[in-house]
Amino acid sequence: MSDEPLAFSPDQFSGQARMFPLPNLVMFPHVMQALHIFEPRYRALLEESLEDDRLMALGVLAPGWEKSYEGRPPLHPMACLCRIATHQRTPQGTYNVLLLGVRRLRLREEIPAGKPFRVVEADILEDGEPAIGDADLAAEMQRRLLTAFKRAMPKLPDAQEQLDQLLGSQITLGMLTDIVAYTIDIDMPWKLRLLAETDILRRTDLLLEAMAARGRNEKVFPPPFSVN
């Protein structure tokens, strides 16, 4: 298993995203996702990424992708830029990787790059932090979201204490929204809306609405191992 540096600065992104699209996963910044990469085109993607900037983008296939999965089916316009945290090559030549989400991406135009995998011109979207005058509101919304998240946690021994340790006072509201949005069991359309929302206060409102609409006191934790 090879560990990679995790620090990321936006100027490290070339503006061209190597796309790893999935039909059933919405990736967010500030979280980690395991993948097993076995298709030749995505093995080529990973190998180029490891030789270059260790960046790749997890995207979402638009509805109807089944008709042309082997080709270039439409992508949802939002994606998550990821840094390769660890990778391991198996004896079969496939890879197990762990990705860290680092930034939201808005996809603009696919590039006919002549590679087996897809490359898309994309822009990094930075979060809109709450204004100084909204500090009290942001703190209250963070408390509300953390309470709702704890309520959705499975009733396991020490789960609440572990969650308190995971989500200590150093976590920002923006980070918390992304962690919760990734972790809880809400429908894909909600997750895609949350990924597209860069205003942190609006994103928190939207997430609380999604959790209430779902009407569940359960979540998937940790998220399942995803296979491309």
Cα 195 off chain centre by: 8
Q: Which amino acid is at 142?
A: Q
Residues of the domain holding 77: 2-126
Q: What is the mean pLDDT of the chain?
A: 86
Residue 4 and residue 100 in contact, taking contact as beta carbons nearer than 8 Å: no
Q: Which two tokens stand for residue 148?
A: 């709702």
Q: Are residues 161 and 72 in the same domain?
A: no
Residue 40 pLDDT > 90: yes
Write the CA distances from 72 to 3, 62, 110, 121, integer angstroms.
31, 11, 10, 15
CA distance 3 to 86: 4
Sign of torsion over alpha carbons 119, 120, 121, 123: negative
Q: Are residues 14 and 122 in the same domain?
A: yes
Does 113 reside within a domain? yes
Confidence of residue 53 (pLDDT cuts 50, 70, 90): very high
Residue 219 pLDDT > 70: no
For 158-173, write each residue's pLDDT tens digit.
666 666 666 665 789 9
Q: Are residues 143 and 162 in the same domain?
A: yes
Whole-prediction pTM = 0.86
Confidence of residue 73 (pLDDT cuts 50, 70, 90): confident
Does 16 reside within a domain? yes
Q: Are residues 119 and 12 in the same domain?
A: yes
For 139-161, write each residue's pLDDT tens digit.
899 999 988 888 877 665 566 66
**Domain boundary pick from 99, 126, 153:** 126
In 37-172, which residue ranges form alpha helices assigned H by DSSP? 40-51, 135-152, 159-166
10 Å CB burial of residue 66 (0-12, 13-18, 19+) is: exposed
> What is the structure's pLDDT at 169?
59
CA distance 76 to 60: 5
Q: What's the residue count for the chain?
A: 228
> What is the structure's pLDDT at 22?
92
CATH number at residue 97: 2.30.130.40
> What is the structure's pLDDT at 223?
47
Neighbours of 46 (CB within 10 A): 22
